[in-house]
Chain A
Amino acid sequence: MRGPSIAHIVLVIAALATVPLLTASNVVLNFLTVALLIALVGQGWNVLGGYGGQYSFGHAAFFGTGAYVSAILQVRYGVNAWIAFALGIAGGALVGAAIGLLTFRSGLKGAYFALVTLAFAEVLRILASVAPITGAGVGILITLDLRPQAFQFQSRAPFYWIMLAMVAVSLVIVRLIEQSRFGAWLVAVRENEDAAKAIGVDATRVKLAAMTISAAITAAGGGFYAQYFLFIDSNIAYGPWISVEALLAPIVGGIGTVFGPLLGALVVKTLGELTKLITGDAPGLDLVIYGGLLVLIIAFAPRGIAGLLADLRVRFARLRSSVSERAHG
């Protein structure tokens, strides 16, 4: 399948990895770390939505589970932060598999699937806001312990590099999926489920696998969030904001492409920060900008920025060949 090679991924990640060497500015590193976090969560969404065509409005369910499992295990049971983080990913994957099993086996598609995932995320949010184990309305504060073995660091740079490494892994995972039989089947299900079934694709199983992988990647983002900010509550972990960011990044960047979510996250976050700079901190105005951006992208560039760039490249190549033809003619 067409797409970037692993070498492209290495190049991009290597370039991004130099940022902390060039600047010690916490503002820049914080901005990029959060943008990369959204890129990771968006990449999770992209596996299921971009490649599988199953648009989830409830990826908060996986993000929040990753965050809560990790935080609860550390705070309430004294589990090591790294192990808790890994178990958080497993927990997110499990929730993904469970929701997938329920929705796909009952044949929910399109808008129905989107609404049911939204409902699951909301149910989890409400449960987390009342259950004692999640800290109910108060939330959970992870004890400050600035040691690498506790997944906490004195400076921003290590956090940034860890986030970047996770994004790198997610890019490689998605590229490997693209080149595999599973990926081909997943895209076939997106394009035409009946036709795929007729030639031997177990559509339910393929979608279920995609949802599990998608949920695991998104849960990793949740676990990282908990370590980075050391505080979560139900509105952060299971709130609709993260479901929106998860789908906004790949849609803006280029749905069903390896680099789409990363590209989209950087653009969306940059626009968000610019809005804050220009308007001062008017609450919610960045959301207005996101909405406008989404409308523009869907109307004029349904394949996102990545698709737009590809079109421009084709046009540029055509222009150049016609110019050289004229020069030779």
Chain B
Amino acid sequence: MAEPLLRVERVFKRFGGLLAVDNASLAVEAGQITALIGPNGAGKTTLFSIISGFLPPSEGRIFYRCADITGMPPHLLARRGIVRTFQIVQPFAGLTVHENIAIGAHLSRRSRADALDAAAEVASTVGLGDLLGRPAASLTVAGRKRLEVARALAAEPQLLLLDEVLAGLNPGEVATMVPIIRGLAERGITILMIEHVMQAVMSLAEHVFVLAEGHIVAEGAPRAVVGNPRVVEAYLGHGAAARLSAAGAAHV
């Protein structure tokens, strides 16, 4: 098999006495949508921060296109094509939607006019085309999540790290966001997404990693993973899988 686009190898992260990431390894194949799921506090966002250069790992290595990128600062990773979004949205609150997205577009464009043109184009692909002149601070949660994606997209990533871009959205908003994400993948952007909205994970992801208490407890196709007893236990507690299947048997 060809070398994956991104390979995380035996990564550990300690915060004092807390082991947030405990020997996690995963691989993201080029051109796919890969999901990283797991219960709250499993270490998903920490792992994301390590991949995107915001945190150094205590141990372990990250490879991107076969190159060791461990410990490289975020702006250099962005120049290599790895761009992340934030779970807690981080808009440039004092700027307009247009100016926000243009900052991303400036990564590959020096001219202000070019960046603003590119930003307008990106805005329309994520459905922010009508809100260009609005201050970012005035957007709704759904709007801010879109802005988060648009800004990252304007930086023209090859690997896009999406941290819960569907969290906090109502079902209607999720339904409009899912095709946008699929559209990105169809344009050839490799996506690694942290997501809690399982319906979206099932319909979008080709491969799923499950992180629990800092380590990967399961991986595979979405359908196979959600049936995995270790995954059920990670979410519902030790012994839950056995109790559930016993209860299921009793009802038959």
Task: Write the residues of chain A forming the contact surface with B, with a CB cutoff of 8 angstroms.
Answer: 1, 179-181, 184-185, 187-188, 190-192, 194-203
Contacts and interface: CB of A to CB of B under 8 A. Distances in A.
Contacts of A185: 103, 106
B79 interface: yes
A118 B104 CA distance: 34
Interface in B56-88: 73-75, 78-79, 83-86
Interface string B100-115: 0011101101111001
B93 A192 contact: yes
A252 B90 CA distance: 28
Interface of B: 52, 54, 73-75, 78-79, 83-86, 90-95, 99, 102-104, 106-107, 109-112, 115, 151-152, 154-155
B112 A201 contact: no
A46 B229 CA distance: 60
Given A184-B103, A199-B103, A192 B78 contact: no
A197 B86 CA distance: 12
Given A192-B93, A195-B151, A199-B152, A184 B115 contact: yes
Interface of chain A, main secondary structure: helix
A200 B79 contact: yes
A185 B109 CA distance: 12
The residue among A184, A192, A200, A202 with the most chain B CB atoms within 10 A of its own CB is A200
Given A184-B99, A196-B92, 10 more contacts: A181-B106, A181-B110, A184-B115, A191-B91, A194-B54, A198-B54, A198-B83, A199-B154, A200-B155, A203-B75
B5 to A, nearest CB: 18
A197 B99 contact: no
A202 B79 CA distance: 10
B112 A199 contact: no
Given A184-B99, A199-B103, A192 B75 contact: no
Contacts of A179: 112
B111 to A, nearest CB: 8
Given A181-B106, A181-B110, A191-B93, A1 B99 contact: yes
A187 B92 contact: yes
B117 to A, nearest CB: 14
Contacts of A180: 112
B78 A199 contact: yes
A206 B78 CA distance: 16
Given A1-B112, A192-B93, A201 B102 contact: no
